Structure 1
Amino acid sequence: MHSKELSNIELLKEIAELLNEETEMEQMLQGALRKLLEGTIFETGWIFFIGEKGKQELIAHENLPNTLEQNNCRHLQKGGCWCVSRFRNGELKKASNIIECQRIENANKTKEVIEEEITHHATVPLQSGQERFGLLNVATANTVRFEDGELALLESVAFQIGSAIKRILLTKQEQQVALVQERNRLARDLHDSVNQLLFSVTLTARGGIEMTEQPEVKGTFKEIQYLTQEALTEMRALIWQLRPRGLETGIIEGLKGYGDILGLTLNIQVKGVINLPAKIEETLFRIAQEALNNIRKHSGVLKAEIYVTVTSTDVLLVVKDEGCGFHMKDLRMLPSIGLQSMKDRANSVSGTVDWVTEANKGTEILVRLPY
């Protein structure tokens, strides 16, 4: 544990070194927060990320009092407060003392005897240039107000953290670009080699059917033609997943294009305006793709209905078919239908996937993703 008398220059140096070394966002923020508390009079702290729509996320916290930490930091996770409101309104420009904090007040009400308790805190925006990411809050027991020098130090640390956040976000964007480029390369390779080879086998099988009069040989060639055509459809769908055409004009056009590849007739209905973050749109698109794959492979029908509803907080997707359906116990025995993949994709963005299905009564997949 470092001394609380660690000089400001030494502290800023240690925090800068940590920020430069870390590559994972939450681990970086947690480490920086810990070093800040170890080297200053600040005793506890927490960091909110605040999205473009004003939605807050508790991304890191350190040494919280029991009142704030109880029930999975309920008082920090939910509700509103002055500092977040001022941040959303663009009124919070520098480190400031918060005279009244609704979150702390509500948390302290849950405790009958308050001794050495947090009652006030300081806040500072985390930003890089004009790009804002969230808030760093710090507090100390029995401290109503921090001095100007302490707030100036807080601003210096916030500047460092904001720059590090921007660096990690840029790195992730570069990784995403590299991933897209690799997908495109793989899609080209598959199209130029395997896809063309399968197409050639299909033509060869068709020629074999016409060249022989023997029923058994004809049947063999027809089976080869059928299986190759199925493999060709699968390959085209895979290539399309790697490099979807039409997604750049929106998820609905993308799904229509994918439905065409699979030979499905889709009835798509939309409520609300689709203006989703890129990660949410891609997650929704990939889940819908998996659902359409299931319909083609397992339902016995070539028609599906898709309903997309966009609210102020969530996007809802329903993919419905009137095929053979399943008993729920059978779903757990059919890994090929990718149910776990859909759940994993939804969970990665704090969403959910549910199924309503019954033998001979079709299947309905329900997806909810917050954004």
Structure 2
Amino acid sequence: MSAQDSFEEISILKEIAELLNEGTDTNTVLSCVLNQLLQVTGLQTGWIFLIDEHGKHRLVADEALPPALASNQKRRMCNGTCWCINKYNNQQLNKATNIIECKRIEDALNEKAGETCGLTHHATVPLRAGQERFGILNVGAPHKTHFEKNELALLEAVAYQIGTALKRIKLTQREQDTALVAERNRLARDLHDSVNQLLFSLSLTARAGVEMTNSADVIQTFTYIQDMAQEALGEMRALIWQLRPAGLENGLVSALRSYAEMLGLSIHTTVTGAATIPGKVEEALWRIGQEALANCKKHSQTTEVTLHFQASEAEVKMTIKDTGCGFHYEEDREIPSLGLRNMKTRTDSLNGTFLLKSKPGSGTEIEIHIPF
């Protein structure tokens, strides 16, 4: 390798390192890095899959995909499997590989799915930091069927930089999540020690006012103040529960049962299976369960609710069902309320599935599946 080539490679690595060090959002960082890598190497096409511990891949960045791969909202890239993912999952992909024929392109050609623009092969590089693996980087160019050793070495160096950045982002997110929980706990304590106590004092004062007068108008006023204070106390307790559920340390189901009882609901719970649930999944299920129970209280016109919780080593399933009035809903229509959409968003963020079933007069059922 010439001195000029070495200088160019160092410059490329420096530019990419600067991009990786600046970003905190995974998708944005990977899109920028892929674009920069293709520009400086003269390659034209690339994509990045992140792959979870269960072997499920997710397309997080792509650049200049040919129409055969980009059509139908990149369905061919997002679904199914391929040789590079299989090799990765079978622990057979440990370094930059030259060269893998692309099964996705081959299938597109066989199905006459559109133009491939001369792209037939790609190099594949695993993304990792130490023993921790994150996914794969694929790059190619029209009619290119071979990568030189120096090209593979550069791709491997870039892939290692990406893996290190992904680990940093992951650790940063974990720190932020821990700080968020701590802040919620602090806010819950402050609300309990200040506003909650003031409302309780106001309620006692109003009650004393009722007992100290014989005037009907004054009694009515104090009674109204007392009722409003009690209602505000109930709202405050619910808010404190949302911020820091007293009892979540005893288990998610126990916390949801207590929350339902606080709302005045009669809840029947069943639990099957046993597994250690990751904190992020437990937090999401807690928020989803809160929203579902609050909806039962506000809209179902019943106090009867059932909660079924099923856990295994690979996933958790939670079902909350009421026997209330229900509403008209079809699966192919948009979810009707903000609360329900928030439940789905939380589920989707953890690669889970959200199912909503409801009919007028037949109650409402929420079913959540989350893998981990």
TM-score (norm 1): 0.85
Over aligned residues, Cα RMSD in angstroms? 3.1
In structure 2, the residue corresponding to 1:76 is in which secondary structure? helix
Q: Is the 2:253–2:309 Cα contact (8 Å) retained in structure 1?
A: no
Query: Aligned residue for 2:268?
Result: 267
Q: 1:89-108, CA deviations, whole angstroms, 9 ceiling, x for partnerless residues?
A: 33321111244432232122
What is residue 363 of structure 2 aligned with on the other side? Answer: 363
2:105 touches 2:116 (CA, 8 Å); kept in 1? no
The whole-number CA distance in structure 2 between the counterparts of 1:220 and 1:315 is 51
Q: Specify whether residues 276 and 117 from structure 1 end up closer, same or farther in structure 2 by C-alpha distance, changes over 3 A only.
A: farther
Asked if 1:167 corresponds to 2:168, the answer is: yes
The match for 2:354 is 352
Gap runs ≥5 in structure 1: none
- Seen in structure 2, the aligned counterparts of structure 1 residues 27 and 214 have a Cα distance that, compared at 3 Å, is same
* Corresponding residue for residue 252 of structure 1: 253
Cα separation, 2, equivalents of 1:58 and 1:230: 48
User: CA offsets, 1:140-190, max 9 Å, x none?
Assistant: 222333222111111000011111112222222222222222211211110
Within-5 A mapping of 1:153-232: 153-212=154-213, 217-232=218-233
Query: Residue 312 of structure 1: CA displacement?
Result: 8.6
| C-alpha distance in structure 2 between counterparts of 1:222 and 1:353, whole Å | 44
TM-score scaled by structure 2?
Answer: 0.84
Whole-angstrom distance in 1 between the partners of 2:118 and 2:102: 13
Shift, 1:209, TM fit? 4.0
- Kindly provide the amino acid, as one letter, of the partner of residue 15 in structure 1: I
Deviation at 1:248, TM superposition (A): 3.7
| 8 A Cα contact 1:199 1:232, kept in partner | yes
How many residue pairs align between the two structures? 360
AA in 1 matched with 2:354: T
- 1:48, CA displacement in angstroms? 0.6
Instruction: Give yes or no for contact 1:45–1:138 (8 Å, CA) kept in 2.
Output: yes
Report how far residue 208 of structure 1 moved.
3.5
Matched, 1:56 2:68: no
CA distance in 1, matches of 2:138, 2:277: 29
Structure 1 SS opposite 2:194: helix
Match of 1:39, SS state, is helix
1:354 shift after superposition: 2.7
Deviating more after overlay: 187-196 vs 212-221 = 212-221
Matches of 1:325 and 1:42, distance apart in 2:
56
**Distance change >3 Å, CA 320–CA 99, structure 1 → 2:** closer
C-alpha displacement at 1:239, in angstroms? Answer: 0.6
Contact 1:357 1:363 (8 Å CA) reproduced: yes
For 2:297 and 2:114, the matched residues in 1 are separated by: 63
User: Retained in 2: the 8 A contact 1:263–1:302?
Assistant: yes
Q: CA deviation at 1:86?
A: 2.5
Residue 31, structure 1, aligned to residue 52, structure 2 = no
In 2, Cα distance between equivalents of 1:108 and 1:312? 40
- Cα distance in structure 1, aligned partners of 2:217 and 2:322: 37
Q: How far apart in 1 are the matches of 2:126 and 2:177?
A: 27
Q: Distance in 1 between matches of 2:275 and 2:221?
A: 49
Task: Give yes or no for contact 1:195–1:232 (8 Å, CA) kept in 2.
Answer: yes
C-alpha distance 270-97 of structure 1, shift in aligned 2 (>3 A): farther
Match of 2:146 in 1: 145
Distance 1:71 1:345 in 2: 25
Q: Distance in 1 between matches of 2:42 and 2:366?
A: 50
AA in 2 matched with 1:156: A
Taking the aligned partners of 2:244 and 2:116, their CA distance within structure 1 comes to 60
The 2-side partners of 1:68 and 1:326 are apart by 40
| Contact 2:291/2:343 (<8 A) preserved | yes
Q: Letter of the aligned partner of 1:366 in structure 2?
A: I
Of 287-296 and 256-265, the range deviating more from structure 2: 256-265
Structure-2 separation of matches of 1:81 and 1:325: 44
CA distance in 2 between partners of 1:227 and 1:285 (Å): 29
5+ unaligned residues in a row in structure 2: which ranges? Answer: none
Q: Does the residue aligned with 2:85 lie in a helix, a strand or coil?
A: helix
The amino acid that maps onto 2:10 is I
Shift of the alpha carbon at 1:223?
Answer: 4.0
Deviates more, 1:141-150 or 1:151-160: 141-150
Distance 1:136 1:249, change over 3 A: farther
8 Å contact 1:118–1:141 — kept in the other structure? yes
Q: Deviations over 1:167-225 (max 9, x none)?
A: 22222222222222221121111001111111112222333444445566555544433
Query: Which position in structure 2 is the counterpart of 1:77?
Result: 78
Q: CA deviation at 1:342?
A: 3.4
SS at match of 2:105: helix
Q: Does the CA contact (< 8 Å) of 2:358 and 2:365 recur in 1?
A: yes
Contact 2:320 2:366 in 1 (8 A): yes
- Greater Cα shift, 270-279 or 103-112: 270-279
Per-residue deviation at 1:56? 0.8
For residue 270 of structure 1, what is the amino acid of its counterpart? V
Q: Which residue of 1 aligns with 2:95?
A: 94
Q: How far apart, in 2, do the equivalents of 1:302 and 1:180 lie?
A: 31
CA-CA distance at 1:116 after TM superposition: 5.3
CA shift, 1:285, in A, is: 1.8
Identity of aligned residues (%): 50
343-352 or 164-173, which moves further after superposition?
A: 343-352
